Each structure stands twice: as structure tokens, then as C-alpha cells.
A = this chain, B = another copy of it.
Amino acid sequence: MDANTKSPAPLEALVGHFLGMPPVAALRPQILEWRDGLLRLRAPLDANVNDKGCAFGGSTVSLMTIAAWGLVTLELEQANLAAEVYVADSQIRYLKPVFEDIVVEAGFDTAADRAALVDTLARQGRAGARLRARTLLADGGVAATFSGRYVAIGKAGAS
């Protein structure tokens, strides 16, 4: 967690949220950083290893899926909007094996997507955004890429 990250309260809530879901808790995700429309997570290789000694593809996609989901959730909380957030579709490319802890970074596809998410949800009670995520290697390489569309549906009675 570096000095540029935002207030810890929404992050603590997100960690609690992750750990409350058995299949997510099994991935043992940790939040590394949240700032400027980016969320980075790390998960230990030993909890996510496959038969070849590298990261299981399902873990990689799950981590990218929850990183993007978590970013949408944090952005909405920051805007005081209560919503359920769903993933609608995703495309993944596996480029390189990961023989180290899995680090993923999620962001909005465009700055316009980020800006529109909060505005549209506040006005219409429902909004969608496309997010991208990458699995990053310690040597600077990219092990996997992810693009996913998320839908947020405002909770009745929410501000």
C-alpha cells in the first residue's frame, strides 16, 4: 500500500467482501493499491498453482475478474452510490506462464467509461462500463490480458 492510495475504509470493506466469498477467499487475494481508477491485487502462487508449477488459468481470470469488479465497486462507493455490480462478459488472452505470485491490475477501458459509470448510474439507476485488466510479471512482462463488461444496478432507496 503506497502513500498515494486512497482512504483505507472502502478497501477494508472490499477485502472483507472478497474474504466472505469462499471461492474468492481460496485465491487469497491482497489489495496492493487503489488510485486514479486503477486497482492492483496480488495472490500467492501456492494457493493458485496448477499441475505445471505455474498459475492456474482459472485463478488468473478470477483475479482479473474480481480486480475489475472491485474497482467498479470502489468507484461507486466513493461516489456514495449503492449498487449491485455484475460481470456480463469477458475475453481473456493467456500470453505467458506465471511462476511467481500473481499480480493483476484493473482499470477502465477509457477515461470516458470511468466518468460515465457514476453519472449514468446516478441518472438512470443502471450503468455499464468496460474494464481491462492485465496480469503483470516482475520482469515487466504481461502474462495475461482481460477485457470485461460490468453492469451496475442501483439498489432501491440508495442515494
Contact = CB atoms under 8 A, between A and B. Distances in A.
B51 A22 contact: no
Contact of A57 (B20, B50, B87): B87
Contacts of A4: none
A20 B23 CA distance: 17
A89 interface: yes
Contact of A58 (B23, B51, B89, B94): B23
A20 B56 CA distance: 12
Given A24-B58, A88-B93, 12 more contacts: A21-B51, A21-B56, A23-B47, A23-B56, A57-B87, A58-B63, A61-B61, A61-B62, A61-B65, A89-B91, A90-B91, A92-B92
